[in-house]
Structures are given as C-alpha cells and as structure tokens.
Amino acid sequence: MSADAIVLEDVTKFFKKSASRREYTTLKTEFVRLLKGERRAFEPPQHIEALKGVSFRVPRGKTVGIVGRNGSGKSTLLKLMTGIYAPTSGKVDVRGRVSALLELGAGFHPDFTGRENILINGIILGMSRAEVKRRVDAIIDFAELGDFIDEPVRTYSSGMFMRLAFAVATHVEPEVLIIDEILSVGDEHFSKKSSAKMEEFRKSGKTIVLVTHALNTVETWCDLAVWIDGGKTRMQGDPRAVVAAYRQAIAAAESQSLRTGHSALDRPGEALPATPDAPPPSASAVTSLEVKWTQDRLELLVDVDRRGAPPSELAVAVAHDDGREVVALSQPLPELAVGLTRVSVVLSPLPLGAGRWRVSCGAGGVRTTQAFDVVVAPAGVQGLLAPRCELVVPGRQGAEDAPHAVAAPRGVQ
C-alpha cells in the first residue's frame, strides 16, 4: 500500500468566464436584431485560473490543514480531490474511499426525508444498501434528530442539516475524510461530539484533509499544513511554520494597505505580498509521541527521526480541545544521530484544569499531536488552568491565620 493517501502533481484548474454581456433580451428584440443584420460583438473566451500548478502529497493516516484567503483556490482543490471537478491539467490521485463535507446540504435532496437521504448518500459513497441499513441507527443516534429524521430535509435548520451530513460522512467508514469549514455551523455540544469523532478517526489511522480559517486548530490539531495563495502552493510543512508565515504575509498586506490605500486584500484571490524567507526546514520529523500525565506534571516521550540536516529545536504546544493554547515553546536540540532518537520532555508544574487537552511536538517538517484527559480538578475551578491558590484573611488569630490552600488538579492519562 502506498505511503500517500492523496497525490497532486502540477494541478491546474481553469473556469470559462462568460464573455456575453448580461443584457435583457426578448424573442422580439432578437428577431428585430436579426432582420437588421446586427450581430453581437465577438469577444474571445476568457478563463479564470483557480489553481496554477499545485503539487503536494498527503501522507496516509495524517491530518492536513489547508489555509489561505477566500478566493485562493482551497475549495476548488477539495472538489478536485473528491472528483466533483476534473483538473484542466495535472494529476490528482486519491487512494481509498473518500467521504466529504463540502457545502451545507450538498448531496441532500430537499424533498426527501433524512432517513431517505442517509440511504442515498451511503450508496453514492460506495456502500451497498445492506451496509447502509446496518449503520442507519448509529447515524440517526449521532445526528440527534429525533422524529425529524422522517421529515423532509428542507424543513431542517442549518444545524440539523450539518449534524446529519457529518453523521453520514463519518459513519460510512471512509479512508479519507475531507472537510471544508462546515463544522463551524454546530453548537458547543455538537462541536465537542464531532471533535471526539474526529479524534477517533485520527487514532484509527484515517486521513483527514481540513480547510479552515481557524489557524489555532491547524497549529494544534494538524500534522501538516499547506498554504494556498493566489491559486499556488505557497508553503507546506510544519503547521506552526506555515501559519506563522501566513500571518506574516497578512500583516504585510495590511501594512501596505495603510501606506498606499490598497493591497492584495482588496482583490479576492490575489497573492499576498512576499515576506522575508524563513530558514529551510529540516527534513527530520516527529514520528510518534507518548503522553504521561500525573497530577500537575506532563511528560512527553518523543521519537525524532533525523533525515538529512539535524533539526535545531523541538517545538512543544499544549492546547485545550477548543483550540485555546496555554503552552507554546521551543527547546534547542543537541545534534542528533541519523535515524530514530527518543527524547524526553517534562513540563512541570503544569496546573491544567479538567477537560480534554492536546499536546503537539514538531522537529523539522512534521508535527505529531496526541490527546489526553484531565478528569479531576479542584472544587470551584472552571477555567483552563488550576494553579495552587492561597487565601489569607488579615486579622484572624490562631489556626485561622494560616493560609487556606486549594489543591492542584489531579488527572489521569
């Protein structure tokens, strides 16, 4: 089996732009024009270049985030991966069953019930009728639509639409899941539920391609990132490096706009201004990550695979499941031997509050992310962090004069 789930080689996509003027005509006006011998002025066909020679690979079992401005070609790229569009030139090779969440309600017939749409979508995604019927109860339970499952989907709210679409896409056992920003529609409850399902996908070795404007999610949740700018691949590799470069280009465009009154931000799809080149990343990668959480101590066992030039530093980030980051640091690495080296990292004290957390480590071009749970926090602590807290009441005598302490959180891996 190939190591890559998706391969794009020099992919271009053009769309034909209408050359005719959108003027109002009737049968009478066209007939009069014909009698007068008038002809419309000929205009050569024009094309919109949505993608211009895009090339990258998505390793099997990795989560890849695609970032870029509106109009840069991200959604077009996903539609090429799913087979909705065919490339004008180049090669798009997707290996394995693909399930996609591209547009709200895409693939659903508005006059069919939710149950009927489950059957239709399952068959479209390559399942047999019997396979869909075996999974229909699990899909309905996950979507939480109740009696509405037997109502036409045109009566659904946007949130109900999205829950049903996500439930279908994730229960047909795809090998590749492609998502285009649709998860932003859900409420907090469903967002947590979908995040848990996505984490289940990651742990089972599925490939996930995610287009999102939530850059913190890309940094903390993705193994790789690709920046599409002006229809081209501007940068790919470690998510933190890609996001930092993207933010730097946005800042440069905003500064240009303040100085001159116009910039690439005023024109959808135009490439952002060039920024100083960052040092080329090492070819090394973090290949595995083991997390040990006890009380307020986080220990990471990181396997770094050196290939070529040695990585200069190890980047570590800790973020809550909702994307809020509490730790972001880099530690210099001594020169590692070629091949696999296990590195131990200890963060202590780290008083995390109860909840689901993600820790990610990167060295060179590839970052690995692992989730862990903190299940017990001190009474009265509801935030991200649960530091030791001492409360002193002035003027009290005796035993009451001693500070009152709130214990640090205890958790399990």
Choose between 374 and 74: higher pLDDT: 74
Structural domain of residue 336, as residue ranges? 282-413
How many DSSP H helices and E strands does the chain contain? Answer: 8, 18
> Of 23-32, 277-286, 396-405, which one has max mean pLDDT?
23-32
Between β-strands 404-406 and 389-391, what pairing exists: parallel, antiparallel or unpaired? antiparallel
Q: Cα separation of 377 and 293, whole Å?
A: 13
Within-domain flag for 372: yes
Average pLDDT, the chain: 79
Within-domain flag for 381: yes
- Residue 107 tokens, joined: 């693939």
What pLDDT does 284 receive?
64
Choose between 116 and 324: higher pLDDT: 116
What pLDDT does 65 receive?
92
What pLDDT does 412 receive?
33
For residue 207, which of 183, 234, 179 has the smallest C-alpha distance? 179
Please check the confidence at residue 406 and state whether its pLDDT lies above 50.
no
Q: How many domains does the chain have?
A: 1
We report the CATH number of the domain holding residue 379 as 2.70.50.60
Q: What is the pTM of this model?
A: 0.65
Q: Cα separation of 13 and 292, whole Å?
A: 47
- The whole-number average pLDDT for the span 263-273 is 74
Question: 272 CB contacts (<8 Å, ≥6 apart)?
Answer: 69, 229, 230, 234, 249, 250, 252, 253, 264
Phi-psi region of 75 (alpha: psi -120 to 50; beta: other; left: phi over 0): alpha
CA atoms within 13 A on the CB side of 157: 8
For residue 3, which of 124, 110, 95, 101 has the smallest C-alpha distance? 95
Contact 206, 46 (CB under 8 A): no
Please check the confidence at residue 409 and state whether its pLDDT lies above 50.
no
- The whole-number average pLDDT for the span 119-137 is 84
- Between the alpha carbon of residue 384 and those of residues 30, 350, 355, 377, 390, the distances in Å are 69, 11, 8, 10, 18
pLDDT band at residue 92 using 50, 70 and 90 as cut-offs? very high
- The whole-number average pLDDT for the span 111-125 is 87
State pLDDT tens for residues 151-167. 998 898 878 888 888 88
Question: 325 CB contacts (<8 Å, ≥6 apart)?
Answer: 216, 219, 220, 317, 318, 319
- The whole-number average pLDDT for the span 269-283 is 63
- The whole-number average pLDDT for the span 358-364 is 79
Choose between 82 and 284: higher pLDDT: 82
Please check the confidence at residue 322 and state whether its pLDDT lies above 90.
no
Within-domain flag for 127: no
Q: Cα separation of 338 and 131, whole Å?
A: 47
Please check the confidence at residue 249 and state whether its pLDDT lies above 90.
no
| Residue 152 DSSP label | B
- Helix, strand, or coil here: 66? strand
Within-domain flag for 289: yes
- Residue 274 tokens, joined: 């060039």
Radius of gyration of the chain (CA): 26
Within-domain flag for 303: yes
Strand partners, 65: 210, 225
What pLDDT does 184 receive?
54
- Residue 269 tokens, joined: 């799809």
Contact 120, 112 (CB under 8 A): yes
- The whole-number average pLDDT for the span 116-139 is 85
Q: Cα separation of 85 and 94, whole Å?
A: 13
Contacts 24+ apart (CB under 8 A), 116-122: 117/153, 117/164, 117/168, 118/164, 118/168, 121/168, 121/172, 122/168, 122/172
Within-domain flag for 366: yes
Within-domain flag for 345: yes
For residue 285, which of 302, 263, 265, 267 has the smallest C-alpha distance? 302
What pLDDT does 227 receive?
92
Within-domain flag for 88: no
Q: Cα separation of 98 and 79, whole Å?
A: 11
- The whole-number average pLDDT for the span 327-337 is 85
Please give the backbone phi and psi of residue 365, each rounded to the nearest 5 degrees, phi first.
-90, -15
State pLDDT tens for residues 160-206. 888 888 888 888 778 888 888 765 555 677 777 777 787 788 778 88
Choose between 157 and 365: higher pLDDT: 157
Q: Which of 131-140, 268-277, 339-348 has the lowest mean pLDDT?
A: 268-277
Choose between 65 and 370: higher pLDDT: 65
